[in-house]
Amino acid sequence: MLRVAVMVSGGGTNLQAIIDAVKDGTITNAELVGVISNNADAYALTRARENGIEAICVSPKDYENREIFNDALLDKVNELKPDLIVLAGFLVKIPEKMVHAYSHRIINIHPSLIPSFCGVGFYGLHVHEAALKKGVKVTGATVHYVDEGMDTGEIIYQKAVEVLDGDTPEVLQRRVMEQAEWKLLPAAINMIANK
Ligand code: GRF
């Protein structure tokens, strides 16, 4: 059984897709051992609790500086003894120490076709705003391993999604989630759990 820890900052629809996929057998040979958030109010933590998964908050606000927070974050992750760490809308840059400790064992979902619309500043709705501004006709989502950079690690899966006339960032975000993110992330976890 692959021990999977999920890190989240927000609503957690991707987390929900993972929980559902474990329940309905789309993901096999994996168990969710904990959900960690930097944000105590993240609805994702409620989703974890409601599904009997340990929900942990490690907020930078509770620590004197970034270094101490980073160490606390790594401590919490280590306590879960994960084989795989899944970043599902986690808005904190993963400390280098953690990247090295979990080399090729951290994956992230990004709501564009990397290398388009990624890197610093490209998160949440900003990604879709940029895609619409550029006028691309196709966007999508990418699951990739996490390295020291921002959205630069080895690509695992990508899925294209059409941009339609009249799309707003919100409408496009929803389509990318429904057609790509919520499928791609469970598929990547299942692939890693069964390889
Ligand atoms: C998703 O768009 C994901 O690709 C990005 O952050 C968003 C998280 O949404 N990294 P949710 O919290 O899973 O609903």
How sure is the predictor about 13, in pLDDT bands with cuts at 50, 70 and 90? Answer: very high
Instruction: Show the domain range for 114.
Output: 2-193
- Quote the ligand 1 centre to 111 CA distance (angstroms): 7
pLDDT confidence of residue 125: 97
CB 85 within 8 A of CB 147: no
Distance 13 CA to ligand 1 centre (A): 7
151 Cβ closer than 6 Å to some ligand 1 atom: no
Mean pLDDT over each residue of the chain, to the nearest integer? 97
**% of the chain beyond a pLDDT of 90:** 100
Instruction: Tell me what pLDDT residue 84 has.
Output: 98
Predicted pLDDT of residue 146: 98
Split into its structural domains, the chain has a count of: 1
> Domain holding 74: CATH number?
3.40.50.170
Residue whose tokens read 């989703």:
47
**Which residue has its alpha carbon closest to ligand 1 atom 12?**
12
Indicate the pLDDT class of residue 39, thresholds 50, 70 and 90: very high
pLDDT band at 122 (very low <50, low <70, confident <90, very high): very high
pLDDT confidence band for 167 (50 / 70 / 90): very high
Three-state secondary structure call for residue 3? strand
pLDDT in tens, 60-99: 999 999 999 999 999 999 999 999 999 999 999 999 999 9
Q: How many CA atoms lie within 13 A of 119 on its CB side?
A: 4
Q: Which of 92, 181, 185 to mutate to test the pocket of ligand 1 (most atoms within 8 A of CB)?
A: 181
Choice from 9, 14, 110 to test ligand 1 binding pocket (greatest atom count within 8 A of CB): 14
What's residue 16's pLDDT?
98
Q: Model confidence at 159, in pLDDT bands (50, 70, 90)?
A: very high
Q: From ligand 1's centre to the CA of 184, what distance in Å?
A: 12
Q: What is the pLDDT of residue 64?
A: 97
pTM: 0.97
In this prediction, residue 118 carries a pLDDT of 97
Q: What is the DSSP letter of 154?
A: P
Could you read off the pLDDT of 96-110 as tens digits, one per residue?
A: 999 999 999 999 999
Distance 78 CA to ligand 1 centre (A): 24
Distance, CA of 175 to CA of 167 (rounded, Å): 10
Could you list the active site residues?
110
